Amino acid sequence: MNSTIEVEYRCVFQDYEEALVTPGTTSINREMMRAILGAVLLISGALVLTLLGLPQGASMLAMLLLLMIFGLVTRFVVRPIWIRRDFHKHPNFGRPCHLVIDDDGLHLTDEVSQSHKKWLAYTKYRETPNLIVLQLGARLVDVIPKRAFEAPQLDQFKELLQEKLPTRQRYHSRIRS
């Protein structure tokens, strides 16, 4: 890329929420731990209910129902409250930003800071319906709303991301060499 891309944007709560809840934000290890915990709770709860005199089939059904209700309440009540509280704990996330993207990396300026991150700082990126999420690590990201770009700029940025950000295999081989 021979030219630079300059954009201005301000992230909002919906950006924060989308960056957190879009698939790909949790690791396979965390998903496996959830599945194992769910199975342990299901079996343990059914065992306790059976020992208390409930028939085995009814115990299993009751525990399945309780786990489903717990999952729904967590997803639709607890998680939105947690995300809103967490958003308010990150006041810098919603500051107006000026971003310059070039062959060297990303240069971000806002009212309290300036940063320059070279492309090697990013491990990967993912695209959501409204965002480009650049990963610096497992839980550290830079979020850039697509609305900050004009259509040709967004296409140019996506091409640059594909060119500059290594796949996992190339990333690990570059670290070793």
- Provide the residue ranges of all domains of the chain, joining segments of one domain with +: 5-20+92-176, 23-88
What is the pTM assigned to this prediction? Answer: 0.77
pLDDT, mean of residues 54-74: 95
Span 5-20+92-176: which CATH code?
2.30.29
Read off the pLDDT band of 26 (50, 70, 90). Answer: low
Whether the pLDDT of residue 168 is over 80: the answer is no
Cβ neighbours of residue 59 under 8 Å, at least 6 residues apart?
A: 45, 46, 47, 49, 50
Whether the pLDDT of residue 174 is over 60: the answer is no
pLDDT, mean of residues 38-61: 95
Question: Tell me, what's the pLDDT at 170?
Answer: 36
User: Could you tell me the strand order of the sheet in which 114-118 lies?
Assistant: 5-10, 96-101, 105-110, 114-118
